[in-house]
Amino acid sequence: MSKYLSHSKKRKIEEKIAFSIFYLCGLTVLGILFFMIWHIVSNGIGVISFSFIASIYNAIVGTLSLVSLSIVFAVPFGVLSAIYLYEYAKDSKLSQIVRFSSDCLAGLPSIVFGIFGYAIALKTIGPSLLVGGVILSFMILPIIIKATEEGLKSVPSDIRDGSLALGASKWQTIRQIVVPSAMPQIITGVILAMGRSAEETAAVMFTAATIYASGFGLLNRVETLSFNLYITATEYSTQQELASAYGIAVVLLGLMITLFIISNLVKRKFAKYNSNI
């Protein structure tokens, strides 16, 4: 009996030790996150002022224009491809190829997009907002395809059948019933994609970014927040330049976290909608 008790005690101690290690792991990860954000924000928030925003105005505009351009290119292709995949092609050869290639595209290192875009740019119009936007749209295409497909998957087939039974054609059903129901997830995907293209540096630095943008236009190079941060962080010589790097990091971080929160709000709203069905 006593032997059995000691065994159970041993088991309990073992469990306690193991679980406290897991606790430690969890808290370490959380600690790293909070420490990094705290460090950036505490050092950078003081820099943010009206004149600072004015000094990085070009970079903000450049980043936003790259993001919008990439979204404009990627959304139609991503959404329509996903609709084809899920509503028409189901499990055909073509859909397998499209899915496989979208997976590959998603896993491709961003610098590979960078050299691809650089070579294309050299052979055509040179590094510019347009080339950068196109390359970024390639990068975010898989995110949008995946999100749209998830959205379509979540639409119950009863709704489709109901619409078809009332005499609507397949295309009408998709356009007026299925896609609107999948909209929240598509929007979430688009917001994630926006974040992805806003933070991207490697693919942008050879295709679109410059330290000093001379003019604004589709065929011009642009400043971007991420590239500015990279240059300032690697080449700063004064304390003031370091401070401005912190400032840019805060702006970039703020942008990413805002996008994250918006996408979560959309997701939550969608969850509510889903429970009503």
How far are the Cα atoms of 81, 84, 172, 238, 263 from residue 152, in angstroms, in the given order?
12, 11, 15, 53, 18
Q: Closest CB to another protein among 28 and 240?
A: 28
User: How many other CB atoms are there within 10 angstroms of residue 192's CB atom?
Assistant: 17
Q: What's the min distance (Å) between Cβ of 33 and another protein? A: 5
Q: Closest CB to another protein among 40 and 129?
A: 40
Q: Closest CB to another protein among 122 and 219?
A: 122
Q: What's the min distance (Å) between Cβ of 42 and another protein? A: 12
Q: Closest CB to another protein among 50 and 239?
A: 239
Q: What's the min distance (Å) between Cβ of 248 and another protein? A: 9
Q: What are φ and ψ of residue 64, in 5° steps?
A: -65, -35
User: How many other CB atoms are there within 10 angstroms of residue 105's CB atom?
Assistant: 16
Q: Closest CB to another protein among 9 and 273?
A: 9
Please classify residue 208 by burial: count the beta carbons closer than 10 Å to its beta carbon, then call 0-12 exposed, 13-18 middle and 19+ buried.
buried
Q: Which residue stretches of the chain are H helix?
A: 2-44, 50-55, 57-83, 93-107, 110-123, 129-154, 157-165, 170-173, 179-199, 202-205, 225-235, 239-276
Q: What's the min distance (Å) between Cβ of 200 and another protein? A: 8
Q: Distance between CA atoms of 87 and 164, rounded to whole angstroms?
A: 13
List the beta bridge partners of residue 240: none
Whether 143 and 79 have beta carbons less than 8 Å apart is answered as no
Q: What's the min distance (Å) between Cβ of 251 and another protein? A: 11
Q: Closest CB to another protein among 52 and 138?
A: 138
Q: Closest CB to another protein among 146 and 213?
A: 146
Q: What's the min distance (Å) between Cβ of 149 and another protein? A: 11
Q: What's the min distance (Å) between Cβ of 91 and another protein? A: 14
Q: Distance between CA atoms of 158 and 79, rounded to whole angstroms?
A: 22
Q: Distance between CA atoms of 180 and 240, rounded to whole angstroms?
A: 50
